[in-house]
């Protein structure tokens, strides 16, 4: 019987903070308890924000925490061919389209739309002749998934939640990918988008259990849909609570949360940090 496989998949867009430490330690301990393996993946597809020095910092911080990993580190920047193959499969099945709306145009359209007008959020599918005209003019576009058609073909989907979602969802959960709209699968500036890359990589690394924060619970529906469309295995999901600081806000890079590097420089030991994180409280 194959051993279960868990993973930790940070993005090198900054140094790790307490929230990252909690997630990495939770996943590592789950792998150890199950007698499984623990993979490390560096999600560096966003070339505009990822930095080599942040990747080096991630490895340094995990080593300091005592979080080891099994096998080589997987870097998404080395996996473009696999993502392009997956995107091609979806396109050949007629499940994608080229959307030329910019983020600003989408935001403006949503503010003008009547309440509940989902067509705006779903992007804009143009006639073939207009698509070709815009391509010839060199306009930028994003590949979007036709979620309604994809959901129709995939049929009803579920996933097993071994933890709890933001509203205490647990057990066998139904999937409603349409709520996310026609998600972006790839864009010129960042290449492949998160949802497609993560399901392709989880399958490649033979991940059987995904442990992550409950802020990603809503993403599970779209990811299950992509797994079904691409014939990829379905992991068990375990979403955990999010750590918050004294101000009640969750730790986040964008808010310049105190980093593990800073804690280390203050003389905080790994054992002190682990005790503060109260990992047993999330079981």
The whole-model pTM stands at 0.91
Write out pLDDT tens, residues 224-270.
999 999 999 999 999 999 988 777 788 777 767 789 999 999 999 99
CA dist 262 and 267 (Å) reads 9
Write out pLDDT tens, residues 53-90.
999 999 999 999 999 999 999 999 999 999 999 999 99
The confidence score (pLDDT) of residue 109 equals 62
CA dist 210 and 190 (Å) reads 24
Residue 206 clears pLDDT 50, i.e. is over it: yes
Q: Which is nearest to 44 in space by CA: 34, 57, 35? A: 57
CB atoms within 10 A of CB 242: 16
């Amino acid at each position: 019987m194959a051993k279960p496989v868990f993973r930790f998949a940070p993005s090198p867009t900054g140094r790790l903070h307490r929230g990252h430490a909690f997630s990495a330690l939770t996943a590592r301990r789950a792998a150890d308890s199950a007698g499984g393996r623990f993979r490390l993946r560096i999600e560096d597809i966003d070339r505009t924000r990822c930095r080599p020095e942040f990747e080096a910092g991630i490895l340094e911080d995990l080593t300091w925490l005592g979080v080891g990993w099994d096998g080589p580190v997987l870097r998404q920047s080395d996996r473009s061919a696999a993502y392009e193959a997956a995107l091609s499969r979806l396109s050949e099945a007629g499940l994608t389209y080229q959307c030329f709306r910019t983020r600003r145009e989408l935001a403006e359209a949503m503010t003008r739309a009547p309440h509940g007008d989902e067509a705006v959020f779903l992007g804009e599918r143009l006639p073939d002749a207009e698509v070709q005209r815009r391509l010839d003019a060199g306009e930028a576009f994003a590949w979007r998934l036709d979620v309604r058609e994809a959901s129709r073909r995939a049929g009803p989907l579920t996933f097993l939640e071994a933890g709890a979602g933001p509203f205490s969802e647990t057990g066998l959960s139904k999937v409603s990918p349409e709520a996310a709209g026609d998600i972006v699968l790839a864009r010129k500036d960042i290449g492949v988008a998160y949802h497609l890359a993560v399901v392709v990589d989880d399958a490649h690394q033979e991940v059987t259990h995904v442990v992550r924060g409950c802020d990603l619970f809503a993403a599970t529906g779209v990811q299950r849909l992509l797994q079904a469309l691409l014939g990829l295995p379905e992991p068990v999901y375990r979403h955990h609570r999010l750590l918050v600081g004294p101000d009640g806000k969750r730790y986040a890079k964008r808010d310049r949360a105190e980093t593990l590097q800073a804690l280390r420089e203050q003389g905080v030991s790994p054992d002190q940090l682990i005790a503060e994180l109260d990992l047993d409280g999330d079981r």
